[in-house]
Structure formats: structure tokens, C-alpha cells
Chain A
Amino acid sequence: TQLLEQSPQFLSIQEGENLTVYCNSSSVFSSLQWYRQEPGEGPVLLVTVVTGGEVKKLKRLTFQFGDARKDSSLHITAAQPGDTGLYLCAGARGSTLGRLYFGRGTQLTVWP
């Protein structure tokens, strides 16, 4: 059983469209991190959110941490082919030092 449920699992869209990826749990997290992974490479950190209700923007990417710190979302505006990749959410819990709990990931493909 996954502690973090990520949806959708696959997303295939045209360039210029908007999209949202969701990461949900019944557990509370001390922080939520979003990573992006390309084939044959390790995940690369995009953002960390630590405060309930926090919103962070990274160019066309907007990340939100739920008020109760149980869920998070990633919204991409005007997607581009360069956004193609596997997006992973990962949560940290204060009760378990160090380890991250990962969702299964969302494979995003943006077609030109």
C-alpha cells in the first residue's frame, strides 16, 4: 500500500495545454518534495514545501501544499515538450528521520 497516492499515472497532452498532478494521503507530512526524473537518470528536486497552505512558483510550475499537510498538487501552465518526464512526489514524516515516501509517479508526455 502506497502512503502517497499520485494521479494521474499517465498524462499525454499537446503543447500549450495546462495540467495538474495530484498527490494525496491520509497521513500528515512534515514536508513534501517534488522531483522530476528523465530516462536513465536519477530524480532531480524541483521544490520543497513545508508549511500547510504554502504555494511556490517555479516559472510555469505552481506547487501547493494542502492546509492539513496531507496532500499536494503540481500545476503546469502552457506545457512545453521540454516538460516531458516522470514527476514524483515524496513526503517526509517527522517520526521517521531521513526517509522519503514516494508516490508511484506521473509520466507526462507533451507533444509539439
Chain B
Amino acid sequence: GAGVSQSPSNKVTEKGKDVELRCDPISGHTALYWYRQSLGQGLEFLIYFQGNSAPDKSGLPSDRFSAERTGGSVSTLTIQRTQQEDSAVYLCASSLGTGRQTSNQPQHFGDGTRLSIL
């Protein structure tokens, strides 16, 4: 399809396991974002990619969280040694734009990965 694709749509895992979430952005979008949405909360920024580099990773909550992007396209968010507080919906978005206009570009979201830690 033409939209942002995320997989898996749902993931249930045991505390302490590692998980990997995937995001396939809209073709041609150079900017990619990861957000986390917990029940009753707005979207919490995690990390922003411009191409393959991450100029802003200030939202990653701990060193258990990491993300990479390859070929200026697909991105993976990895959570190591998962904890129950990691349970949330993880949303990926992509947008056009480089430089200072990037933040004014509309962000197109995927439907998210619902992560549940038992």
C-alpha cells in the first residue's frame, strides 16, 4: 500500500524478552519518527531519523531502547529486557522535508504495534 506500514500489529511477550518492531515508511519520505502512546496519554516522542541518521534520540526512555534505519527506508525499534511499563502502542510516522521545514511537514502515521508485556 501507499501508507506507513508497521509490523507486527500486536505483540505479546514475557517480561525480560527482547522485541523488535518494524516500520516501513511512505516511499520518498526522508524523515521518520517513533512515538509511544500509553492509555490516556498523548503521543510521547521517542526518536527522529533524517535519512539513516538520528539527529534527535532524546525521547528514548532508557538504554534498553534502540532504533536504526537502513537504506533511508525501513526502521526497526528494539526494546531489550522488556518491562511491564513498556506496554503501549508504538507508532511510526514519516514525512517529507529536510532542514528547518521538516517540523512543519504533515506526519503520516502507521496504525501502530500494540505491545503487551506479561
Contacts and interface: CB of A to CB of B under 8 A. Distances in A.
A98 B50 contact: yes
B45 interface: yes
Contact of A6 (B42, B45, B104): B42
Contacts of A50: 104
B93 A42 contact: yes
Interface stretch (A12-20, A52-60, A64-72, A87-95): A87-95
Contacts of A1: none
Given A94-B103, A97-B56, A97-B100, A2 B109 contact: no
A89 to B, nearest CB: 9
Contacts of B33: 98-100
B104 A88 contact: no
A6 B40 CA distance: 12
Given A2-B42, A6-B42, A93-B103, A99 B108 contact: no
B79 interface: no
Contact of B102 (A42, A90, A97, A102): A97
Interface residues of A, number: 30
B55 interface: yes
Contacts of A4: 42
Interface size class of B (residues with CB under 8 A): 20 to 34
Interface string A15-59: 000000000000000110101000011111100101000000000
A43 B106 CA distance: 11
A96 B107 contact: no
Given A97-B56, A102-B45, 12 more contacts: A31-B103, A33-B106, A42-B112, A43-B43, A48-B106, A92-B104, A93-B103, A94-B100, A97-B103, A98-B48, A98-B55, A99-B103
Interface of B: 4, 31, 33, 35, 40-45, 48, 50, 55-56, 59, 91, 93, 95, 99-100, 102-104, 106-112
5 contacts: A50-B104, A97-B103, A98-B48, A98-B56, A99-B45
Interface of A: 2, 4, 6, 30-31, 33, 35, 40-45, 48, 50, 88, 90, 92-94, 96-105
